[in-house]
Amino acid sequence: MRCPYCLHEQSRVIDTSHDSRGGVRRRRECENCGQRFSTYERPILATPLIIKADGTREDFDRDKLIRGIRIACAKRPVSAAAIERLVGEIEATLRSIGRAEVSSRVVGDMVMAGLKELDQIAYIRYAIVYLQLDDLKSIRNEIDRLLEG
Ligand SMILES: [Zn+2]
C-alpha cells in the first residue's frame, strides 16, 4: 500500500481490525517516512446481471421480485417478513454464485422453491405466471406434481 504522504511503496501493518460488515481496517506505518495511515478493505458483493428469456440483460431488481411474490401471496398467510427473507436468501445465493450473469430461470426456480415451502396456493399462483401455465390441464399437472412431491 503506497504511503499517502511520501508515496513510498512499502508500508507495514501495525494493527488489523474487522468490522461487522465484513470490512477490514488496517493501521499502517510507512517504511520510508514513518507516517501512519489507515486503509479499509471491503469485499465487493456484486449481484449478477439477469439474462431474461428474450436474451436481454437487466439488473437484479429486488423490489420487482418482492412485488411479484407479494401478488402471488395476496390474502395468504405469508408475512411481509417471510417474503423479505426469501428475497434476501435469493439475493445472497445469487451473489455467492460468483458469476457475472445468470438466467432469470435461476431466480424464478429459487422463488418457486421458496414459495413451495411458504404457501402452496401462492406457489401455484406464481407458477401460473412464471411457467406461463395458460390452460387448466397444465395448471392441474403442476398441482399434481406439488401433491406428489
Ligand atoms: Zn511515507
DSSP state of 60: -
Sign of the torsion angle spanned by Cα atoms 76, 81, 82, 84 = positive
Residue-level pLDDT at 20 = 72
Q: What pLDDT digit, counting tens, does each position of 16-74 carry? A: 998 776 778 999 999 999 999 999 887 766 788 999 989 999 989 999 999 999 999 99
Query: What percent of the chain has a predicted confidence (pLDDT) above 90?
Result: 66
Strand order in the sheet with 24-30: 11-18, 24-30, 36-41
Cα-to-centroid distance, 7 and ligand 1 (Å): 6
Cα-to-centroid distance, 34 and ligand 1 (Å): 6
Pairing of strands 24-30, 57-58: unpaired
Cα-to-centroid distance, 28 and ligand 1 (Å): 10
In angstroms, the CA 71 to CA 80 distance is 12
Cα-to-centroid distance, 86 and ligand 1 (Å): 49
Cα-to-centroid distance, 17 and ligand 1 (Å): 22
DSSP state of 101: E
